[in-house]
Every structure is written in C-alpha cells, then in structure tokens.
Amino acid sequence: MGIGDAIETIQDRLRPSGLLYTTYERHLLSKLDRSRLPHHVAVMADGNRRWARLNAPGETLTAGYHAGASRLTEFSRWCDEVGIQIVTLWVLSPSNLDRPEEEVLPLLDVIVALVESLAAEGKWRVQLVGALDLLPEGMAEALRKASEGTKDSTGMHINVAVSYAGRQELRDAFRSLLAQEASKGTTLDDLANTLEIEMISDHLYTAGQPDPDLIIRTSGEQRLSDFLIWQSAHSEFYFHEALWPDFRRVDFLRALRAFTQRERRFGR
C-alpha cells in the first residue's frame, strides 16, 4: 500500500467533520488537474432504498429518497464549485413506476421537491429529460414549471432524468426524426440513404449537448442499466461501493482524480 492509499484508508475512518478529513479533501482539490476535468458528469445515484433499510429501519423508504435527494443537491454544488459545465442526474426510470403506489407517490413528491430546490438556487439551468407523460399530470406540470423558471439561467446546466430510459429515448428520437423528414416529403428510401449519426443525435433529449465525459455509479453496481446508452459510447465510468446518500465530496474528488489520470481513446 502506497502513502496515498494509506492516507485514504485513514481518512475513511474519520467523521466527515474531522479536521484531518477536511485537510485531505482540500489536498485532493488542490492537486486536481483542472485542464483535464470533465465538462459533463452524469450520475446514477443508486442505493437510496438500501440506505433506508440500513439506516432508518422501521421507517418508510421515503427516508432514503430524502437523503438521496439532499445528496444530489450537494453533488450539484460540488460540480459547480470545480467548474463542471453540465450535470445529468438520473432520478427515475419508467420501470420504477411499476412499484407499489405507496412507494412511488412519495418518491415522485421527493423528485418534485428536488427539482424545485435545484431551480431555486437561481443560477442553474434545469432541464427535464425523459417521458413526463408517464407521470401524474399534476406532478409533471410542477416539474415543467420549475424547469421553465430557469430557462434564462446561464450557469451550470443540470439535466434531471425523470422517467428516463435509454431505449425509450432512442425510440422517441427516431419517431421525431421520421416525423420531421416526412413533413419535408422525404421518402423512407431517401432517408435510409442519407441518414447520419448527427441526425439522430439532434433528436435526443440531450440534443445540442456534449456527451458525458464521466459517468459515476454508486452502491457497487457495475452496469449501464439503460442509462444514456447513445451518449455514453465513449464515456469513462467510475464505480463506487457507497450507497448514494453516503457518497461524499471526497469520493467525488477521487472520481475526478481518477478521470484526469486516464488516457481517453474515444474508440481509437
């Protein structure tokens, strides 16, 4: 074990409020190569329900949702502090909506509160990506209203992936592309002969945005799970064992450090 590993082992045993922890966190931040930081970071914030079962036994899973949402807000601030330009937060997949109503409705309430909280920061552009039509109309409208209020913000761009699935996004992109070309009178034969990758990208939920450079997934899971399957073709992945509410700023800084130390090949 090297000195750096030994320090990290020691700091892992410290409470986040400890002086040594704070000092080490500042050390990590000062050593980051800012010229190599990712422009777009996406996070699969996994483990909220498991966290609730471990940390709030006897309570509802809502405790985990609230803890996870609070950490997402903190995560967004961490990203802003180091100059990340775009952040994508995956908070709900369509399959999550298949859970029992007594579990889904509190989760949706937490998501609405999260989006409203991010919008209330007053400096971030909050964009919703996903199939909002699958949500209860009142909640979908509340999400749209919060997002609309940030349209003129010029700070960090935050995508909140609500009712989001990658295959669904591709389906919607192709539907949009086909409808657009049909309105121009383009035949299927013509489209088949002229279709380019960029034409598909222009119809994604994230159209006009650079693809994520770094995707972080917590709770020890190491799979893509239908998240940004088009955009992640050349992304770097960072997997962490912590359940999402336990993911700390120092863990985020380590993820950035790991990213800056990688040689990106982009398929070459």
**Catalytic residue numbers?**
46, 96
- Side chain identity at 135, as an amino acid letter? L
- Side chain identity at 206, as an amino acid letter? T
Kindly provide the residue ranges of all beta strands, DSSP E only, lying in the chain, ordered along the sequence: 40-44, 86-90, 125-129, 157-161, 214-217, 236-239
- Side chain identity at 134, as an amino acid letter? L
Point out which residues pair with 152 in neighbouring strands: none
Cβ count near 151 (within 10 Å): 9
